[in-house]
């Protein structure tokens, strides 16, 4: 076997963080006044790609990955199970066994998955490589609320580089293990979606995030998926500057991505700098059978941004990626609808001219008071009456459409769901001063799953299974999330539901469907 240090499975690049430019406001309506960086990319991207790496403002960083050895001295010996890669023969997967088949309905990894025919049935590994307070609250709760630790930025800043590295690496090592993938394979699940922060591959000067280490654990997770025949969607969950201002972007606050400022354009360019080498890496024969999908950017808040500028960024990122992979090669590319609604993407990126693109949407009842206040029966039928038809229409208007996130929740009572120190809309404690959904609505006991009634568990089962059925009118679904720490938020915990019975024991064997539920509510 080839020495991994001589293999092109590692991208040796500079490890000094990228340095930002300053910020200067630009008119939102003037595309001509984009900063030199954005224009430079559009004029020269083919030349840059011909050199092997798209680089506008910076040298892209993907840490060296030593496959077949430990991540470093402090990580577990599980890395020793990962085979070394022989890349002398680029036409084969020498060194990897891609014959695993997760279940009888899913082709083995070395055969094509028929997207649009075979449904994606997936779970998210959220909260692993990008920390979220509502998934793993304890790492944030070591600080008093007055200290303002509310996201991965403030956590890393408060801990300092050395202690942040120690604690976060311990979290990577323990929160998701091979045992999780073994259980996932037993559930009838055929895909996992792995959210990843930009600092795993492209750390930015001035950002406190722990750099690079998450990349090693991402590869470790992919290797576990390979072992059990599970396909992987790698997804960029954060962008430099934050694409939505929410804690799962890494930093709560303002949107610093494509926001009409010089720095916003630079951050958008840096995001392309991040995704292009990632996709190029996973397009290589050693990885292509396992990493079959790539989420270009999670939940950019397009509804708060200039829509046409955001769509142009989608086109630019697509061109940059496909110029590297080539047509018909590399993973399917998913683009989130940005909360402007599926109909606004009609005719965008048509499958006749764009190569294997997917429109992604995240469907939740909990942020709409009208949906939250419906009866349980109406809630359990809503996915069939509304979301199913929306997905069917989007499939006609756009092409492949999938649900990248959904849950069992029908209110927003989950601990820290809306953020640290922020209440819930359901009981009127949310910070927008709006009244509760109803006069007697309370979150007390809502997450105490050990005391849930059998009737409530049956409702959850109906709601979840009908969502699954409805979402397979698109190309499939990913449940958010696979688990939460100590099952703290049970409506968002697939593993707990699987163990306790409100999630189907095998995702394709379901009792409740959309059959007979056809009329869309007005």
- DSSP annotation of 438 reads S
Residue 299 annotated to the active site = yes
Segments in 116-160 forming alpha helices (H): 138-141, 152-159
Q: Exactly one of 266, 381, 405, 465 is catalytic; which is it?
A: 405
In terms of Cα–Cα distance, which of 402, 449, 382, 401 is closest to 124?
Answer: 402
| Residues 153 and 251: beta-carbon distance below 8 Å | yes
In terms of Cα–Cα distance, which of 366, 383, 344 is closest to 462?
Answer: 383
Lookup result for tokens 């996932």: 184
SS3 295: strand
Q: Which residues pair with 122 in a beta bridge?
A: 191, 478
In terms of Cα–Cα distance, which of 278, 287, 235, 292 is closest to 115?
Answer: 292
In terms of Cα–Cα distance, which of 452, 425, 456 is closest to 438?
Answer: 425
Buried b / exposed e along 373-396 (16+ C-beta atoms within 10 A): ebeeeebbbbbbbebbebbeebbe
Residue 405 annotated to the active site = yes
Segments in 472-521 forming alpha helices (H): 494-500
Supply the DSSP string of 25-51, one letter for each residue: B--TT-GGG--HHHHHHHHHHHHHHHT
| Residues 501 and 458: beta-carbon distance below 8 Å | no
Q: Exactly one of 132, 235, 299, 337 is catalytic; which is it?
A: 299
| Residues 295 and 233: beta-carbon distance below 8 Å | yes
In terms of Cα–Cα distance, which of 301, 240, 297, 238 is closest to 266?
Answer: 240
| Residues 136 and 171: beta-carbon distance below 8 Å | yes
CA dihedral (442, 127, 361, 274) in degrees, to 10, reads 150
Lookup result for tokens 């490589």: 129
User: Which residues are known catalytic residues?
Assistant: 299, 405
């Amino acid at each position: 076997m080839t020495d991994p240090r001589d293999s092109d499975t590692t991208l040796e690049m500079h490890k000094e963080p990228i340095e930002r430019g300053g910020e200067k406001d630009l008119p939102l309506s003037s595309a001509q006044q984009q900063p030199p960086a954005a224009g430079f990319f559009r004029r020269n991207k083919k030349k840059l790609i011909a050199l092997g790496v798209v680089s506008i403002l910076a040298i892209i960083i993907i840490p060296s990955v030593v496959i077949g050895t430990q991540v470093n001295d402090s990580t577990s010996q599980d890395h020793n199970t990962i085979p070394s890669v022989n890349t002398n023969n680029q036409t084969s997967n020498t060194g990897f066994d891609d014959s695993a088949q997760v279940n009888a309905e899913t082709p083995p990894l070395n055969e094509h998955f028929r997207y649009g025919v075979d449904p994606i049935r997936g779970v998210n590994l959220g909260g692993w490589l990008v920390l979220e307070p509502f998934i793993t609250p304890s790492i944030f709760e070591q600080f008093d609320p007055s200290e303002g630790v509310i996201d991965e930025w403030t956590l890393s800043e408060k801990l300092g580089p050395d202690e942040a590295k120690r604690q976060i690496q311990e979290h990577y090592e323990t929160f998701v293990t091979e045992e999780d993938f073994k259980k996932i394979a037993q559930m009838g699940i055929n895909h996992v979606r792995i959210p990843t922060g930009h600092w795993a591959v492209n750390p930015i000067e001035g950002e406190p995030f722990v750099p690079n280490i998450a990349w090693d654990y991402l590869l470790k997770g992919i290797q576990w998926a390979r072992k059990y025949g599970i396909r992987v969607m790698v997804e960029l969950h954060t962008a430099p500057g934050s694409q939505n201002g929410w804690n799962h972007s890494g930093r709560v606050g303002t949107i610093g991505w494509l926001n009409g400022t010089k720095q916003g354009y630079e951050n958008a360019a840096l995001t392309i700098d991040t995704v292009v080498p990632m996709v190029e890496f996973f397009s290589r024969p050693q990885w292509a059978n396992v990493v079959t999908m790539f989420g270009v950017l999670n939940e950019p808040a397009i509804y708060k941004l200039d829509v046409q500028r955001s769509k142009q960024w989608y086109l630019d990122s697509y061109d940059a990626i496909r110029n590297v992979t080539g047509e018909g090669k590399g993973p399917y590319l998913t683009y989130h609808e940005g909360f402007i609604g599926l109909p606004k993407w009609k005719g965008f990126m048509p499958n006749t001219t764009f190569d294997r693109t997917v429109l992604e949407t995240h469907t939740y009842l909990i942020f709409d008071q009208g949906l939250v206040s419906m009866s349980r029966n109406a809630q359990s039928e809503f996915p069939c009456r509304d979301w199913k038809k929306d997905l069917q229409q989007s499939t006609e208007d756009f092409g492949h459409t999938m649900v990248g996130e959904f849950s069992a929740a029908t209110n927003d009572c989950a601990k820290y769901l809306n953020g640290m120190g922020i209440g819930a809309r359901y009981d009127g404690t949310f910070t927008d001063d709006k009244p509760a959904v109803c006069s007697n609505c309370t979150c007390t006991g809502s997450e105490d799953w050990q005391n849930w009634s059998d009737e409530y568990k049956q409702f959850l089962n109906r709601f979840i299974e009908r969502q699954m059925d409805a979402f397979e009118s698109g190309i499939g679904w990913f449940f958010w999330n696979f688990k939460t720490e100590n099952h703290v938020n049970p409506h968002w915990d697939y593993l707990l539901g699987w163990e306790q019975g409100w999630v189907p024991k095998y995702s394709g064997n379901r009792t409740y469907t959309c059959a007979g539920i056809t009329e869309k509510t007005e």
